[in-house]
Structure 1
Amino acid sequence: MTKIFAALLLSLLPMASQAESFDGQVRATLLPGWRLSNGDHVAALRLELADGWKTYWRSPGDAGIPPSFDWSGSRNLDDVTVSWPSPDVFWQSGMRSVGYKHEVILPLRVDLRNGARDARLSGTIDIGICKDVCLPQRLTIQANLPAAARKPDARIAAAMADLPYRAADAGITRVHCQVSAAERGLGLTVALDMPGATGREETVIEFPDPELWVADPETSIQNGQLVSQTRVSHTSRAAFALDRSAMTITVLGGPMPVEIRGCD
């Protein structure tokens, strides 16, 4: 669903640009960070947004545009892992989106081919930004990653401290999933034994298969548990298997943000 939405926005972009210029609404820079003792490198992508604008988390919701990263122009690079600080939930015209406003720093764990040598991180970032309109943005960034850099960057460290808690750290003792038949897919109910839950939380459910579409869940307190109910379908409308052990559920808006992997 988000892929269709993003494609529609891309097709409308030239028309919007003729009416109003949106240059300068987002600025992207790479923070070069520091080299770890094992040869990996910690860097970060910094996104600064103009007042009133927001951008999206890794799972943006039905009203958002999913971000994507291409690091193919880099040197001395094997892989980059993006970490996602706890996002906010936005509601507009009855639709939910998940993301960030003002500024966000996304920590990057950079796996190098040779950890003793300098590296160059060069990327093309496709994101969506929204205010009164939603627009795709393509940003090009690059930075040198010196092997001699050893001092941690406090801005990146602060972003890493804002990552969601793990289930055990949040005191969650049980995660139970129930799957049922549903029109055009499967119904999925996730029940969490989560101390301090109020029922005002928002939940996001993800699966690694990009062809699975997960509806925005309804979240409530039932029998003392935090319960998230949603529907999962395949974009091709074909039959599919649901690997509950590969599921990620993120709880936002409660006493603490929590990210949970898998369920009973």
Structure 2
Amino acid sequence: MKRLLKSSAVVLTACFALTAPAHAQALDGVVQLDVLDGGRTASGTYLGALRLTLKDGWKTYWRAPGDAGIPPQFDWNGSQNVGDVSITWPAPEVFVQNGLQSIGYTHQLVLPVEITPLNPAKPVRLRGDMDLGVCKDVCIPERLDFDHTLDADAGRNPAIAAALAQRPYSAKEARVTAATCQLTPTSDGTQIEARVTMPSAGGNEIAVIEPGNPVLWAAPPKTTRQGDTLVATSEVISASGATFALDRSEIRITVLGANHAVDIQGCSAG
């Protein structure tokens, strides 16, 4: 039964993501998307952002949405002169509804994107779509399209600058001195006990563990603090039920606190 419940959560999320999306305008503007310009950086990349504006009372989700969220997905295939795309996620909020925890944003999400052009001498056109979930009393899958040629001469954009300032601290910035992951086989998958030595991020800290493999799902961790060490215990399973191996260097631990968030890339054997 334990495995069935966990597998059902994975399947439910997948079903939301695969349901035929409705266009935003068809739902009376529940969410709208526009592209912001931030100009060229000193290194020659383009800085832009996808801005989502939500109606009052609605929310959308972070890349790891929690128990009952829908993970966003991006399709850049219609873009021109786009090499690498790097997304910076502002620190999200934690919501608890009907005993389920989800992680995301309300009101507005400005999602900075840094684009490396294939040819620095040619313009960059961002064209594609974003699949996401928006929730109030019910959750609705959305597909929002975008088509925008970035302005290389645009000046500093305050909205993009504010979103970048809201990113989680790096491990170094948060004074993380150790991050270990002890892996233990279970009947369903693998248990992770992550131990992160760092000062408190404030209030009731919540850890999120991402396995680094899209076919794997990590249960919301039980998070406790033992002095200077935050302990987060989770179980990772495969949606297909197949056996798998975890690469500690790919495990991502995010700590969400009242004062700030911390993004920790990789952990050592513990």
Q: TM-score scaled to structure 2, two decimals?
A: 0.89
Match of 2:35 in 1: 30
How far residue 69 of structure 1 moved from its aligned partner, in angstroms, is 0.6
Map 1:19-168 → 2, pairs under 5 A = 22-147=27-152, 149-168=153-172
How far residue 12 of structure 1 moved from its aligned partner, in angstroms, is 7.0
Using the alignment, how far apart are the partners of 1:9 and 1:68 within structure 2?
Answer: 12
How far residue 101 of structure 1 moved from its aligned partner, in angstroms, is 0.3
Residue pair 1:198, 1:221 contacting (<8 A) in 2 also = no
Map 1:98-247 → 2, pairs under 5 A = 98-147=103-152, 149-196=153-200, 200-247=204-251
RMSD: 2.2
1:165–1:151: structure 2 CA closer, same or farther, 3 Å change rule?
Answer: same
Residue pair 1:66, 1:128 contacting (<8 A) in 2 also = yes
- Three-state SS of the structure 1 residue aligned to 2:27 is coil
Unaligned runs of at least 5 residues, structure 1: none
Using the alignment, how far apart are the partners of 2:84 and 2:20 within structure 1?
Answer: 31
- Three-state SS of the structure 2 residue aligned to 1:60 is strand
How far residue 255 of structure 1 moved from its aligned partner, in angstroms, is 3.1
- Three-state SS of the structure 1 residue aligned to 2:82 is coil
Deviations 1:232-258 (A, max 9, x none): 112222221111111110000243210
Residue 167 of structure 2 aligns to which amino acid in structure 1?
Answer: L
1:12–1:153: structure 2 CA closer, same or farther, 3 Å change rule?
Answer: closer
Using the alignment, how far apart are the partners of 1:200 and 1:224 within structure 2?
Answer: 14
- Three-state SS of the structure 1 residue aligned to 2:122 is coil
Deviations 1:13-44 (A, max 9, x none): 79x99xxx733110100002201233210000
Deviations 1:55-77 (A, max 9, x none): 00011112011101111111221
Using the alignment, how far apart are the partners of 2:193 and 2:203 within structure 1?
Answer: 15
Identity %, equivalent residues: 45
Using the alignment, how far apart are the partners of 2:31 and 2:174 within structure 1?
Answer: 34
1:27–1:91: structure 2 CA closer, same or farther, 3 Å change rule?
Answer: same
- Give 2:263's match in structure 1, choosing from 253, 259, 263: 259
Which segment drifts farther, 222-231 or 82-91? 222-231
Q: TM-score scaled to structure 1, two decimals?
A: 0.91
Using the alignment, how far apart are the partners of 1:10 and 1:197 within structure 2?
Answer: 32
1:198–1:83: structure 2 CA closer, same or farther, 3 Å change rule?
Answer: closer
Residue 12 of structure 2 aligns to which amino acid in structure 1?
Answer: F
Residue 94 of structure 2 aligns to which amino acid in structure 1?
Answer: V
Unaligned runs of at least 5 residues, structure 2: 1-6
Using the alignment, how far apart are the partners of 2:233 and 2:191 within structure 1?
Answer: 8
Match of 1:5 in 2: 12
1:195–1:41: structure 2 CA closer, same or farther, 3 Å change rule?
Answer: same
Moved over 4 A (4+): 10-14
Deviations 1:78-107 (A, max 9, x none): 232221000001111111111000001000
Residue 175 of structure 1 aligns to which amino acid in structure 2?
Answer: A
How far residue 160 of structure 1 moved from its aligned partner, in angstroms, is 0.7
Using the alignment, how far apart are the partners of 2:199 and 2:239 within structure 1?
Answer: 36
Aligned residues: 259
Deviations 1:182-215 (A, max 9, x none): 2301111111111135671111111221111100
Residue 224 of structure 2 aligns to which amino acid in structure 1?
Answer: S
